[in-house]
Amino acid sequence: MTEMIYTYDGSFEGFLCCIFDSYANKEVLTAIFRDEDFAPSLFASRWIPTDRDHANRVLRKIVKVSPYTVELLQKGFLTCLPEKEIHLYRLVVKLLREGPGFLRNFSDETLYPVITAVRHLNGEAHLLKGFVRFSDLGGVLGGEIEPKNRVLPLLRSHFCARYQNERFFLYDRTHKEALFYAAGKAVIRPLEDFQMAPPDQAEANYRILWKRFYDTIAIKERYNPRCRMTNMPKRYWGTMTEFQDERYFTVPDSPAAAPAPAVPDGRSAPGKLPGPGPSGPGSAL
């Protein structure tokens, strides 16, 4: 067994191929990098091409031993755990070597970092189910988030059920991707740049109403900013209506300054769904 660094294209399938090739080549991986994150080093490295068939064979093998691990891999891959690939790889190696027994022990040293990261992901997705804010942009609902983890695949089914008869999109600023939904179909697509259109009068009014409700519902004799902060960390406030400055609640003067809401460059305008493309790990969830 030789030690080796692998690089891959950053997709979930590509990652599974790293596992496949490590077994095929009898190599022990010390690191797995997305090619864009990889700085050439003194250590031996190998570029792993993505091969759907290889990826599926890895998945089938893992499912047989432990379906739960497949879920851990899919979710773990969405987390912001630093060097998540190598943690997930070690989980698979241990699983195939020892069987699934160790998965019952939360405190197991291979499992613990992954499960903690997945809990963080689940927790963030749960919070965002509440903290996401949409605006009505000419009949289409649009929202933005700035999460640490890639939560869109986890939010998809929730918001699709909630807004079954609406058209909506949700943009993830951190990972530069968006969830689009219309007429029963949802996709998650990369989206480099996005600028939310300013509100029209009706939208501005509802924002004002909400802000007023928010400010009024607090009981001043119970004022407790620390408790609020613990429950709703400040990093979420940036995309929440009730914490925006005045501009957010006013309609821009000249109507020309407020173009119809759309995703820039005519790319995947809300409502027009891009066709199917390569699947992200999310499509498996």
Partner 1 sequence: MDVLEKLTILTDAAKYDAACTSSGGDRTAKKGYIGNTSSSVAGCCHTFSADGRCVTLLKVLLTNNCVYDCKYCINRRSNDTRRAAFTPEELADLTIQFYRRNYIEGLFLSSGVFRSPDYTTELMIRALRLLREQYRFNGYIHAKAIPGTSPELVEQLGFLADRLSVNIELPSEAGLKTLAPDKTKQAILAPMGQIRVRNQQSREELVKYRHAPKFAPAGQSTQLIVGATQDTDFHILRLTQGLYDRYRLKRVFYSAYVPVVEHALLPSKDVKPPLLREHRLYQADWLLRFYGFRAEELLDEAHQDFDPRVDPKCSWALAHLDFFPVEVNTADYETLLRVPGVGVTSARRILTARRAGRLRIESLPKLGVVMKRAQYFLTASGKVADGLRFTPDSLLRGLIAAEQPSLPQPPMEQLSLFDPA
Least distance from partner 1 to the Cβ atom of residue 221, Å? 5
Our CB check for partner 1 shows the closer of 51 and 108 to be 108
Provide the 8-state DSSP code for 79: S
Q: How far apart are CA 27 and CA 6, in angstroms?
A: 10
* Positions that interact with partner 1 (CB under 8 A): 101-102, 104-108, 112, 126-127, 129-136, 141, 143, 157-158, 161-166, 206, 208-210, 212-228, 230-232, 240-242
Using CA atoms, how far residue 6 sits from 9, 22, 56, 98, in Å, is 10, 9, 19, 24
Least distance from partner 1 to the Cβ atom of residue 279, Å? 23
Provide the 8-state DSSP code for 276: P
Our CB check for partner 1 shows the closer of 150 and 156 to be 156
Our CB check for partner 1 shows the closer of 58 and 140 to be 140
List, as one string, the DSSP characters of 128-142.
Answer: HHHH--EEEETTEEE
Q: How far apart are CA 267 and CA 237, in angstroms?
A: 28
Q: How far apart are CA 155 and CA 147, in angstroms?
A: 12
Our CB check for partner 1 shows the closer of 109 and 193 to be 109
Least distance from partner 1 to the Cβ atom of residue 271, Å? 16
Least distance from partner 1 to the Cβ atom of residue 248, Å? 13
Q: How far apart are CA 97 and CA 236, in angstroms?
A: 41
Least distance from partner 1 to the Cβ atom of residue 250, Å? 15
Least distance from partner 1 to the Cβ atom of residue 18, Å? 28
Find how far residue 133's CA is from the centre of its chain.
16
Our CB check for partner 1 shows the closer of 137 and 187 to be 137
Our CB check for partner 1 shows the closer of 6 and 171 to be 171
CB-count burial class (<10 Å; 0-12, 13-18, 19+) for 78: buried
